[in-house]
Amino acid sequence: MKTLTFLVPCYNVENSVRRCLDSMLVESLLDDIEILAVNDGSTDGTLDILQEYADKYPTAVRVIDKPNGGWGTAINLGINEAQGRYIKEVDADDWVSSENLKEYVDFLRNNDIDYIATNYTEFFKLSDRYEPHGFSPEIYNKPMSLNDFWEQHPTAWDFPIHAITYRTQMLRDSGIRVGDRYYGDIEYNIYPLPHVQTICVLPINITVYFRGSDEQSTSTRGYARHYKDFAQMSRRLVQFHRKLPSTLQPNLYRFIERTVQSAILKTYDLMMSPLYAANTEGVDEELRQYDKWLKETDKTLYNHCGRHRKHGIAYIRLWRLFRINVLNLRK
């Protein structure tokens, strides 16, 4: 069994995937690493490039070709197919710090921990700038139970997807299945947490996260194009929240609840703000249907977002009462 699976979902990434794969192919670690590249129905030369690497590194690179279904379908398939004891998702336009991989893999090889967080770097394309990110020094190199982490460091949790490594069997045992299309990374970050028993945070910088493309789903343009996917994701988060066990560590429960609340508020903003989809045909009815669903599904979350304010105005409550959208008032 390999120590680590790098799960790389790929869709039309012929211009970036070589950089991603090359960064992972450290010669001394090829026996420990599996690169599982899932081609999600690419229509450019991505599949040919992946097959080239699989032919050159047959013991380290494995390619799965599937019809296009979205990022989440590649993740769900990859979790089931991974052959490493640990699994780390890396998007094909990101890459890893090759010089730090040995220390990272050595730790994984010699430990049995459900959740590992590592430092990361953001690369901003427009300014050609690298920005490293770390965490609180007091949490480094201290394997502990998740409950103890939340008891001792209740404000230290700030781990995005590019910081996370999961123990593969724990991930499978959690029954995780993220949504098919956009914004499934939020689900990937949250759904396993009730099943995590142990955690360790390492001061090792691993992932380089690419930022700067207008096509990215978290850009203003991306949110405007994919607001329906975000709304569906937030609905799934609400249902997940409703099923949380009462025995969950209280600080962890509140963190998950805040994440769900933030997703709900973002959904309203995407459909109410002209920066995003407010002027899209049919969005008013979609907003009404979403609001009705939330009221019927979870009255507490419904009331919470009604109290949220922007510029001193409870804008969602105002829209509910009078159908006045202050985020989209035209002069």
66 and 170: one domain?
Answer: yes
Cα–Cα distance measured from residue 32 to residue 102, given in angstroms and rounded to the nearest whole number: 10
According to DSSP, the residues that pair with 116 across neighbouring strands are: 165, 200
pTM of the model: 0.94
Closest CA to 24 of 51, 6, 42: 6
* Final residue in a domain of this structure, among 161, 187, 211: 211
- List of residues 6+ apart from 69 with CB closer than 8 A: 40, 41, 180
Instruction: Find where tokens 């509140």 sit.
Output: 254
What is the signed CA dihedral for 8, 261, 176, 25, rounded to 10 degrees? 20
| Tens-place pLDDT, residues 255-299 | 999 999 999 999 999 999 999 999 999 999 999 999 999 999 999
Specify whether 144 is located in the same domain as 46.
yes
93 and 192 in a single domain? The answer is yes
Q: How many independent structural domains does the chain possess?
A: 2
State both tokens at 170.
Answer: 């724990």
Tell me how crowded residue 202 is: count the other CB atoms within 10 A of its CB.
21
- Whether the CB-CB separation of 187 and 178 falls below 8 Å is answered with yes
Instruction: For residues 254 and 125, state if they share a domain.
Output: no
Summarised one tens digit per residue, pLDDT across range 195-227 is 999 999 999 999 999 987 666 777 888 899 999
Which residue segment(s) compose the domain that 166 sits in?
A: 2-211
